[in-house]
Amino acid sequence: MFIARTIAAVRQWRSEPAGSLAFVPTMGALHEGHLSLMRQAKQHADHVAASIFVNPTQFGPAEDFEQYPRPLERDLALCREQGLAMVFVPEADELYPPHVLPLQMDVPDLSHLLEGEHRPTHFAGVCRVVAKLFTIVQPDVAIFGQKDYQQQAIIRQMVQDLALPVQIITAPTIREPDGLAMSSRNVHLDATQRQHAIGLYKALQQAKQMIETMGETDPQTVEQAMDQVMQAHHLQVDYAAIRHPQTLQPLDAIAPDLTRGVVALVAARLGPVRLIDNMLIG
Ligand code: AMP
């Protein structure tokens, strides 16, 4: 496995004839969710590459950039086990040289709602780093997790608008046995918070049951029920939303036949830890 620390090293590696390439961008602290993306990647190309980069531009000033876990040696061992061909591990200065003025880019129709309301600069940072990683690594295919539903929707739009020659694949969310979505941030939960964290998944299950089994068609009724489930688990709710699966806009009514289903999205805080999750319903 080739470990590239500079853009020049990736370009050199990529210039050698190699076949098709699938790419998995990550911020490291790898867990089974990331590894499932790498396994899926193997099915779409001859080789798989990943990046490990805690991207400062997607964190707000009061967010957990400094606290974000960085177990690099363990991560590289996991990448090796997965048979990756290359891992790009740049320093921040390599991707963002101090003399380069920042480019701003996002998809306002998708970036300013839901996560964007709570993290106003987040998706501009995501778009900038992903566009940059794509132009450096030049993959044929890139795999993103459904776990970050809004992120994959925005990246799909960015790739379309810039006509980037990268196929975007969205891979299912991998969960702990009790349903909690795997996340690098879960390591920061103490035992009590870990129990409460299950409230996000319970809220999504509640929405699924109300819509699919009970036939509920009023989005607000479902959203209120999701909110209550999370509050009962001592979660500080940022949002509990039923949205159109492509536009992420609110719906007047839940009519799965018309929208090809809905997406339920939740975000909540447990002390300093902020968690998100989602589920496609209908
Ligand atoms: P991150 O390291 O959190 O930036 O995530 C890197 C990629 O892994 C993103 O495409 C995430 O959506 C994806 N991912 C994170 N957690 C999970 C999970 N539990 N299941 C599937 N994919 C995930």
Ligand 1 center–CA 143 separation, angstroms: 9
Assigned token pair, 220: 């607000």
Please give the number of the atom of ligand 1 that sits closest to the Cα of 174: 20
Ligand 1 center–CA 252 separation, angstroms: 31
Written as tens digits, the pLDDT of the chain (282 aa) is 999 999 999 999 999 977 999 999 999 999 999 999 999 999 999 999 999 999 999 999 999 999 999 999 999 999 999 999 999 999 999 999 999 999 999 899 999 999 999 999 999 999 999 999 999 999 999 999 999 999 999 999 999 999 999 999 999 999 999 999 999 999 999 999 999 999 999 999 999 999 999 999 999 999 999 999 999 999 999 999 999 999 999 999 998 566 579 999 999 999 999 999 999 998
Cite the active site residues: 34
Q: What is the 3-state secondary structure (H, E, C) of 182-226?
A: CCHHHHHCCHHHHHHHHHHHHHHHHHHHHHHHCCCCCHHHHHHHH
User: Which of 24, 26, 32, 34 has the most ligand 1 atoms within 8 A of CB, as the residue to mutate?
Assistant: 34
Assigned token pair, 92: 């921040």
Q: Residues 6 or more apart from 280 whose CB is under 8 A from it?
A: 146, 245, 261, 262, 263
Ligand 1 center–CA 59 separation, angstroms: 16
Nearest CA to ligand 1 atom 6: 26
Q: Which residues of 176-196 are buried (b: 16+ CB within 10 A; e: fewer)?
A: beeebbbbbbbebbeeebbeb
The closest alpha carbon to 133, from 69, 252, 52, belongs to 52
